[in-house]
Amino acid sequence: MVKSPLQIARESYFPKLPASLKGAVKIVEGNKTESVADQADIKKMFPNTYGMPVITFEPGSESKEYPAVKVGVILSGGQAPGGHNVISGLFDGLLNCNKENKLYGFLGGPSGLTDNQFIELTADVVDHYRNTGGFDIIGSGRTKLEEEAQFDKVIENCKALGINALVVIGGDDSNTNACVLAEYFLQKKAGIQVIGVPKTIDGDLKNEVVETSFGFDTACKTYSELIGNIQRDANSAKKYYHFIRLMGRSASHICLECALQTQPNITIISEEVEAKGMTLDDIVDNIADIVVKRAENGDNFGTILIPEGVVEFVPAMKKLISELNDILAKHETEVNVLDSNKDRRDFVATKLTEESATVFTHLPNSFANQLMLDRDPHGNVQVSAIETEKLLIDMVKAKLKKLKKSGDFSGKFGGLGHFFGYEGRCATPSNFDADYCYSLGMTASLLISEGKSGYMASVKNLTAPADEWIPGGAPITMMMNMEKRHGAMKPVIQKALVVLDGAPFKKLEENREDWAMGTKYVYPGPIQYFGPKEVCDTTTHTLRLEQAR
């Protein structure tokens, strides 16, 4: 393997740890918990894992002797910077608990569990991946484990290896699956624990016990570097509006964080669009209005940040997409046999309500086609394939053409579209994510050694120095509510949306006009791994504002 100088240097970095993970540990249990909503339904579905207490680990007075265990780990869903450090922390933590412990990595995500594809993770393997980006140590996948036959196959494969516990590193859906597995294993008395670890660059897996998901910090810093580069170009050439779509299907945390880091002219926040009942035309009018005002100041350039999921937050579009999800789930075979996109559009239009059919038939054909693309494993539209930035460029251009004709716009408009997605998912983790993920892995090893199941690893107080972080675990059931998936109500971890009266959004809101009319760009530059702590170890603006540090 050929390694870059940065890879070689990062191999020698030892992540900073909370004080309670540096020696003997004492476990402290809090009060019993309940789900965030739909308590009766969740309790009925998870009788063995509902109501458990939140756990914290504090420095102990004497070391414990833990029995030897064999642990399996999977990486589930999209990549996020820091996954390798979770595995490194898990590996080291297990050996700290008992030198006889073994760790197995199941290959390709959840399917590795059912197909029994695995490798033993030894020091020779793990050491090559410390502090690196990506999930390539064992690969990832999006297979959904939801059938009892799959659960039984997992039990069979784990029993054959002598595995006592599984660690699922994933987002909200993956951790929901982890909780379902934990419940099933307890019902079957399988003797297999399940622990989850919170991963998603989207930042929407957070709550009172999970302050942020890992990967969010690194991804936002990576995107912000690129946005800063583009803004410097825009301010140099002074002739283009850059429409930059950023990841975040269900929430706008990435868009908001990148705006706070780079100060673009316009930032669209999906949750605000929904709260104000805005239409696509409203969004276009707002953009066009700022373009016109900047042109009056002689500025025919700018940057616009767009969350990839914004179309699902426009009320009429949200209703349309919800109907499309149900129709395409129920009529999948009928739709797939049709020869052309026009035939598929015409067929779907006959199944929509009158209001949604009107919206659907008035969309540009290319955009309507994108709304009908194959759904993801959870039955949702794949918004990353919907080129919202191009749609908005075309609509703004058309609006400005009318304004120019009426004499209300005398400037110039050139729009360029960008989508930043994969660029941020496998970046070398920031010091924060390297430290945080290693602590999460260590915490997961302790939860296993303490015999816990149905818990998510948690590390809190993250804006303080790492020595003051508080590791522990939270019952996954406490994060759940009931939502409609594939046309049926299912238990899932509740997504955290941007809070419009929260400090991060308020910070954006109070600066919006200034950033729109001025050119107040900030150029964050690349992630720094070496140097003073204010350059290398800062957390996100979002986390600092939320915790008022």
- Alpha carbons 333 and 352: distance in angstroms, whole number: 17
Count of CB atoms within 10 A of residue 346's CB?
Answer: 12
- Alpha carbons 510 and 493: distance in angstroms, whole number: 32
**Residue 375 among known ligand-binding residues:** no
- Alpha carbons 539 and 441: distance in angstroms, whole number: 19
**Residue 245 among known ligand-binding residues:** no
- Smallest CA-to-CA distance from 92 within 352, 418, 438 is with 438
CB within 8 Å of 48: residues ≥ 6 apart: 182, 183, 186, 187, 454
- Alpha carbons 259 and 267: distance in angstroms, whole number: 7
- Alpha carbons 516 and 263: distance in angstroms, whole number: 9
**Residue 415 among known ligand-binding residues:** no
- Smallest CA-to-CA distance from 212 within 58, 14, 30, 432 is with 432
From the list 92, 202, 217, 433, the catalytic residue is 202
- Alpha carbons 219 and 530: distance in angstroms, whole number: 18
**Residue 129 among known ligand-binding residues:** no
**Residue 202 among known ligand-binding residues:** yes
Give the DSSP letter string of 439-485: HHHHHHHHHHHTT--SEEEEEE-TTS-GGG-EEEEEEGGGGEEEEEE
Q: How many angstroms from the chain centroid is the CA of residue 198?
A: 9
For 359, phi and psi rounded to 5 degrees? -60, -45
Count of CB atoms within 10 A of residue 152's CB?
Answer: 14
**Residue 22 among known ligand-binding residues:** no
- Specify whether the CB–CB gap between 212 and 57 falls below 8 A: no
Told to judge if 282 belongs to the known catalytic residues of this protein, a careful annotator would answer no
**Residue 247 among known ligand-binding residues:** yes
**Residue 203 among known ligand-binding residues:** no
Residue type, 93: G
* Secondary structure percentages of the chain, helix, strand, coil, to 5: 45, 15, 35
**Residue 425 among known ligand-binding residues:** yes
**Residue 308 among known ligand-binding residues:** yes
**Residue 23 among known ligand-binding residues:** no
The dihedral built from the CA positions of residue 150, 155, 159 and 162, taken in this order, carries a sign that is positive
Beta strands in 291-429 (DSSP E): 302-307, 415-420
**Residue 105 among known ligand-binding residues:** no
For 165, phi and psi rounded to 5 degrees? -155, 150
**Residue 529 among known ligand-binding residues:** no
Strand partners, 481: 492
In whole angstroms, how far apart are CA 206 and each of 4, 317, 435?
A: 34, 26, 18
Q: Quick check: helix, strand or coil at residue 341? A: helix
In whole angstroms, how far apart are CA 113 and each of 85, 104, 159, 540?
A: 21, 11, 12, 35
Catalytically active residues are 202
Q: Which residues are annotated as a binding site for diphosphate?
A: 78
Q: Which residues are annotated as a binding site?
A: 78, 172, 200-202, 239-240, 247-249, 308, 422-425
Q: Which residues are annotated as a binding site for Mg(2+)?
A: 172
Q: Which residues are annotated as a binding site for substrate?
A: 200-202, 239-240, 247-249, 308, 422-425
